[in-house]
Copies of this chain bind each other. A is one copy, B any other.
Amino acid sequence: MIERRSLAALLLALPGAGQAQGADPLPSWREGPRKRVLLDFVATVTREGGSGYVPPAERIAVFDNDGTLCVEQPAYPQLIFILDRIRALAPQNPTWQQDAVLRAAIAGDLHGAMAGGHEGLMRLAGAAMAGDTPEAFQQIAADWLKTARHPRWNRPFTALVYQPMLVVLRFFRASGFTNFIVSGGGIEFVRALAEETYGIPPQHVVGSSFALKVTEDAGRLTLLREPRVDFIDDGPGKPIGIARDIGRRPIAAFGNSDVDFEMLRYTTEGSGQRFGMIIRHDDAEREFAYDRESHVGRLARALDAAPAQSWQVVSMREDWAREFE
């Protein structure tokens, strides 16, 4: 016997339940070709008996994070976090003053902090982010994401996620897809946001990682994050991360910059029904406008390849009715 309450809960959990027949699953998208192609793709792969049908186990969708699901300007949130964290930890680490890059970061000199190039950035990241257990670090990141404020909107970063992408995540999930984040960002940093904000559990986040070390703490086995990069899940690293952690080629990919190029190719160059979408930041008024010349989220190569690859290029200004909640 199923109780009435359980049955009701069950019906509510049905794909598509809670939205009347014919209700718009993408209400924050304006009518137009991008919205239409997106709806058509999902209709095709979910139509049982249709020639484009894809069984649920193979409905894998991958989403870049920074610039695709959330704001990445004027700097990646993780970079702002790193600088905040270095300032917070500086009093306990007086030797940092002897390192020019760290000293610049402590002084809030963004230009000086960046002057060390890739190697300097890794030193900053190591200083700010290593030495904790993965769980403790994820909690530190989660607290920061809820309390730190974006310089333009004075809102927490967890509020600066794109409403039209949240409905895409929900629509895909309700259509039997498994959504993954595939991010160049640190894996625990993205996980700190993913479950509560995107409904994506930690095991469905693929990201860059520091090496982990097994150690003991008070007789318990403990993991510690070491200041040594283990994997960079960016550019060509994205298809590698997907193959290793997901083990199945996605049928849909969403990105916004050239470091998503290989992920988009890997996804859409498979056979059968495939979908690739690029979020183009062309809305200076409501968000930011940048592409070819930007240091953050540069979009050139993927934009040039889009027509030949049949990737949909979203205009945030035209295609999205609003950007945030």
Residue from the list B1, B180, B262 in contact with A221, Cβ < 8 A = B262
| B236:A214 contact, CB within 8 angstroms | yes
Query: Given A2-B14, A223-B243, A262-B221, does the pair A135, B249 have CB atoms closer than 8 Å?
Result: yes
The quantity of this chain's copies bound in the complex is 2
Contact A269 B223 (CB under 8 A): no
Size range of the chain A interface in the assembly: 35 or more
How far is it, in angstroms, between the C-alpha of A57 and the C-alpha of B201 when the chains are bound? Answer: 8
Min CB distance A250 to B, Å, is 11
Are B247 and A187 touching (Cβ within 8 A)?
Answer: yes
* Chain B residues in 8 Å Cβ range of A191: 247
Chain B's closest residue to A21 (CB) is: B1
Q: Which residues of B contact A202 (CB under 8 A)?
A: 246-248
Bound Cα distance A256, B220 (Å): 21
Query: A203 is contacted by which of B2, B209, B240, B248 (Cβ under 8 Å)?
Result: B248
Contact between A221 and B269 (Cβ–Cβ < 8 Å)? yes
A300 CB, nearest partner CB in chain B, Å: 18
Residues of B within 8 A of A243 (CB): 134, 212, 223
Tell me which residues across on chain B come within 8 A of A266, comparing CB atoms: 221, 223
